[in-house]
Chains A and B, each alone.
Chain A
């Protein structure tokens, strides 16, 4: 099963990490590694989940770890483009109240202020 994770954008303030595939016990370590590499900078990391068809509790743990590390340093980890199924996992665990979740990467970057600038 194909699983790809790549930094699609990296600027002085924002990096975008795109995850293509399913995040589970087998693939979550790669997400963790990618987030660790972006722990110090830039300040804001956006995880693009628009091509993530599935994620489980292992992925939640890794994302929570990434969020904690960012917030400890005064930064933020934002999530963008969640599919309906993935969104449901965040809703059930109420983690949707903890993460800043945006419909798209552009909105997570705040480029479309006014319609999606605030967390859902």
Chain B
């Protein structure tokens, strides 16, 4: 564990498809502050984008008519980057241990979770009354 305090960056984006690209650029820029290699940077960016995409696809319509948003938190720690993507979707059916899709079955969805699992070192879901948070960690290569 590091004794150096983590730097934190938070980003709030509208839960709309055209903002996934914005999230990608921002996440990549922030992750670039850490000594990740280019492949790791691309992995982090894609994983974060997949989490945002998943959130947008599941975000509920707010009955008050306010635009739903997604909160992205990045914690730059000494030896790892933690990316959290939080939406306000509650009670959605998430398989905590998703079974990778079988390519032979040719499913048209479900690939995002498989990508996040493969691209990041750690993946954790937290679903509570506030919404759903995906927490992903990428460790620096030793």
| Cβ A24 vs Cβ B106 within 8 A | no
Stretch at the interface among B73-81, B88-96, B109-117, B121-129: B109-117
| Cβ B21 vs Cβ A24 within 8 A | yes
| Cβ A67 vs Cβ B112 within 8 A | no
| Cβ A67 vs Cβ B106 within 8 A | yes
Chain B binding site: helix, strand, loop or mixed by DSSP? helix
Distance between Cα atoms of A94 and B18 in the complex (Å):
28
| Cβ A93 vs Cβ B114 within 8 A | yes
B134 within 8 A of A: no
Given contacts A61-B108, A64-B107, A94-B103, contact A24 B119 (CB under 8 A): no
Q: How far is the CB of A59 from chain B (nearest CB, A)?
A: 9
A34 within 8 A of B: no
Stretch at the interface among B4-12, B29-37, B49-57, B60-68: B49-57
A1-43 interface bits toward B, Cβ cutoff 8 Å, 1 = contact, 0 = none: 1000000000000000000001011100000000000000000
| Cβ B108 vs Cβ A25 within 8 A | no
For A94, the chain B residues whose CB sits under 8 A away are 103
For A95, the chain B residues whose CB sits under 8 A away are 103, 111
B20 within 8 A of A: yes
| Cβ A24 vs Cβ B17 within 8 A | yes
For A61, the chain B residues whose CB sits under 8 A away are 107-109, 111
* Top 7 A-B residue pairs of the complex, sorted by shortest distance between their CB atoms: A57-B112, A57-B111, A26-B17, A25-B17, A61-B108, A92-B118, A26-B18
Q: Point out residues on A near B: beta carbons under 8 Å.
A: 1, 22, 24-26, 54, 56-58, 60-62, 64-65, 67-68, 85, 89, 92-95, 97-98
7 CB-based A-B contacts, threshold 8 Å: A22-B21, A24-B53, A25-B17, A57-B50, A58-B112, A92-B119, A98-B106
Known interface pairs A54-B46, A61-B109, A64-B106; 10 further A-B residue pairs with C-beta atoms within 8 A, sorted by A's residue number: A24-B24, A57-B112, A58-B53, A65-B108, A67-B106, A89-B46, A93-B103, A93-B114, A95-B103, A97-B103
